[in-house]
């Protein structure tokens, strides 16, 4: 009797284990809500691409303009740029800079660095904000502040856009009616630009 009870108990435990594993496997094979939505998004995209494929071009005006930018700014070290700023009242001022003005959002280093981090039970790789060359951490919140080098004196120049101030950038001084009364905002004047 004891042997029968032991055999029956072992059999029931084995059946229970098999049923439990089967249930777990079935549960694990059911796609999550996120997986279902990703699948719907992918199939919708595939359906739309099949119905409306992207057109191809024989000529890219965007590449032409990019190449024009490279020819304008990437071939001559120290090329001057002419920055015209308009204030909220409609008045104009200008800077003459050596090279292009640069926003604080630009960095010489990638803004993130890959590092090993403690993920609790395990370690893993993560991308975290990396320090700038000056040893500080910056965010992309200063994109409206620009800086550059005054063309004749080499002085540091900084200006902001937005909040009722905008700027136009040219590779040559502009002789336009709206700029006739523009005042120099830096030490370099249009009439004393070293060419």
Rg of the chain over all Cα atoms, to the nearest angstrom: 32
- Return the closest-CA partner of residue 81 out of 67, 102, 66: 102
Please give the pLDDT value at position 170.
Answer: 96
Count of H-run helices and E-run strands, the chain = 3, 8
Q: Which residues pair with 92 in a beta bridge?
A: 86
Please give the pLDDT value at position 184.
Answer: 94
Stated pTM of the model: 0.67
Structure tokens at 58: 């024989």
CB-based contact 103:159 (threshold 8 Å): no
End-to-end CA distance of the chain: 110
Q: Which residues pair with 157 in a beta bridge?
A: 148
Summarised one tens digit per residue, pLDDT across range 13-25 is: 676 666 666 655 5
Determine how β-strand 92-103 pairs with β-strand 183-184.
Answer: parallel
- Return the closest-CA partner of residue 101 out of 124, 80, 130: 80
Summarised one tens digit per residue, pLDDT across range 38-51 is: 889 999 999 999 99
Please give the pLDDT value at position 45.
Answer: 93
Summarised one tens digit per residue, pLDDT across range 111-145 is: 777 788 877 777 888 777 777 767 777 666 678 89
d(CA 147, CA 106): 11
In the chain, where the domains are located: 2-46, 79-105+140-192
pLDDT band at 84 (very low <50, low <70, confident <90, very high): very high
d(CA 138, CA 145): 13
- Is the alpha carbon torsion for 65, 69, 75, 79 positive or negative? positive
CB-based contact 99:154 (threshold 8 Å): no
> Does residue 195 carry a pLDDT above 70?
no
> Is the pLDDT higher at 7 or at 175?
175
Percent of the chain with pLDDT over 90: 48
């Amino acid at each position: 009797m004891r042997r029968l009870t032991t055999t029956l108990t072992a059999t029931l435990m084995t059946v229970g284990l098999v049923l439990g594993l089967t249930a777990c496997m079935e549960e694990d094979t059911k796609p999550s809500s996120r997986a279902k939505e990703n699948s719907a998004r992918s199939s919708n995209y595939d359906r739309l691409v099949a119905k409306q494929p992207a057109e191809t071009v024989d000529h890219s005006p965007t590449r032409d303009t990019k190449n024009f930018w490279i020819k304008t700014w990437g071939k001559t070290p120290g090329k001057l740029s002419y920055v015209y700023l308009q204030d909220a009242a409609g008045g104009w001022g200008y800077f003459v800079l050596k090279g292009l003005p640069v926003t604080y959002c630009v960095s010489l280093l990638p803004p993130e660095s890959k590092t090993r981090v403690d993920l609790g039970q395990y370690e893993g790789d993560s991308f975290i904000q990396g320090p700038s060359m000056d040893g500080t951490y910056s965010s992309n919140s200063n994109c409206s502040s620009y800086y550059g080098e005054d063309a004749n004196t080499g002085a540091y120049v900084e200006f902001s856009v937005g909040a009722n101030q905008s700027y136009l950038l040219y590779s040559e001084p502009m002789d336009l009616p709206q700029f006739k009364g523009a005042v120099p905002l830096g030490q370099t004047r249009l009439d004393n630009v070293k060419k």
